[in-house]
Amino acid sequence: MPELPEVETVRMGLRPVLEGHRFTKVVTRRGDLRVPFPRDFAKRLTGRKVVRLHRRAKYILADLDSGETLVIHLGMSGRMSVYAEGRARKIGVYVHDVADAEVGNGKHDHVVMETDAPATIVFTDHRRFGLMTLVATGALDQDKLFKGLGPEPLSDAFDVKYLKAALEGKRTPIKSALLDQRVVVGLGNIYVSEALWRAGISPKRLAGSISGPRIAPLLRAIHAVLHDAIAAGGSSLRDYAQADGNLGEFQHRFAVYDRAGSPCKKKGCKGTIKRIVQAGRSTFYCPTCQK
DNA sequence: CTGCACGCCTGCCCGC
DNA sequence: TGCGGGCAGGCGTGCA
């Protein structure tokens, strides 16, 4: 589920129940996520107040008043569910309507956190590629999870000059280069395909072979697809009470992702979307209008 | 250094 | 209905 727009949507949904609130109770159900829970994980969270809820790459970061930061990564299948007390208030993300006894007792519910919002927040991840850990706030950048990450795609640092230099000389396909979190963070398998379609660039083209004049359009395509997706996720938040498990609305607007065999949506293009495999992962593109 | 195949997990969907 | 294979929005490791 989570590339930058989804992670950002989850962050916004967690904000009302986390930021400025205190953990009143934390329970971990099993410890064999990608990174094991650190020692005394629940104890170090309990009683702590979240002073700031932010994001770096695909990580959600909750800075605590103890000088530590709760680091959350959703992996491929991670979910955060928010159960608002008495359902008196509708709160974003997944506001489920289930019996109290079922809250946090699912087979793949790994962490159950209560805050004084009040609310119960459940972290679920059936594939367990996600993680939750604690890192000293001041040392985040040096932590191995964050060291070497590229710039945020929506920051000023991610500009034409940077991208040109980052791709220069790279002999890997542009698809793989943009998935590489050292080049730029936040993009995943969906949005790379979507951005390359918007830019009219073939995913097979070697990164270093993208000519100077095509760098700016690529940058704009990345910006645009992320902005559109964030807006689509955000706009569906408030009526998320029916929680069908999907996040946001953007999946209905995919131009290429998971559309193999369907007509290209580009105006005037008569092409058909094709699926190929690059570095072991699906890529979708239009061979007719992406060069 | 680079690029790539593979493993990590579970669940779902498809074809036989 | 059961079973095997392939697939899934991420990332780290180890290899050539």
* A151 is an active site residue: no
Mean pLDDT for the stretch of residues A177-192 = 96
Measured in angstroms, what separates residue A107's CA from nucleotide C11's C1'? 24
- Omega of the bond leading into A118 within 30 degrees of 0 (cis): yes
* A3 is an active site residue: yes
Q: Enter the CATH code of domain A4-142.
A: 3.20.190.10
Q: Which residue's CA lies closest to nucleotide C8 at its C1' atom? A: A76
Yes or no: say if A247 and A235 are a contact pair by the CB < 8 Å rule: no
Contact partners, residue A230, CB within 8 Å, separation at least 6: A4, A5, A8, A9
Mean pLDDT for the stretch of residues A110-122 = 92
Residue A245 has pLDDT above 80, yes or no: no
* pLDDT tens-digit map of A52-87: 999 999 999 999 999 999 999 999 888 888 887 544
**The listed CATH number (3.40.50.740, 1.10.3130.10, 1.10.8.50, 1.10.4190.10) that belongs to domain A160-285:** 1.10.8.50
Q: What is the pLDDT of residue A99?
A: 66
CB burial class (10 A; 0-12, 13-18, 19+) of residue A197?
buried
Residue A224 has pLDDT above 90, yes or no: yes
Q: pLDDT class for A242, splitting at 50, 70, 90? A: very low
Options A44, A58, A175, A198, the catalytic residue: A58
Confirm whether any atom of chain B, the nucleic acid strand, is less than 7 Å from CB of A107: yes
Residue A29 has pLDDT above 60, yes or no: yes
* A203 is an active site residue: no
Sorted by where each begins, the domain ranges of chain A are 4-142, 160-285
CB burial class (10 A; 0-12, 13-18, 19+) of residue A257?
buried
Q: What is the pLDDT of residue A228?
A: 94
Options A204, A217, A281, A287, the catalytic residue: A281
Residue A163 has pLDDT above 80, yes or no: yes
CA-CA distance, A286 to A28, in Å (whole number)? 45
Which of chain B's bases lie under 7 Å from a protein CB?
2-11
Confirm whether any atom of chain B, the nucleic acid strand, is less than 7 Å from CB of A144: no
Confirm whether any atom of chain B, the nucleic acid strand, is less than 7 Å from CB of A279: yes
Confirm whether any atom of chain C, the nucleic acid strand, is less than 7 Å from CB of A188: yes
Mean pLDDT for the stretch of residues A241-245 = 42
Measured in angstroms, what separates residue A201's CA from nucleotide B15's C1'? 35
Q: In DSSP terms, which residues pair with A233 in a beta bridge?
A: none
* A281 is an active site residue: yes
Measured in angstroms, what separates residue A88's CA from nucleotide C5's C1'? 47
Confirm whether any atom of chain B, the nucleic acid strand, is less than 7 Å from CB of A127: yes
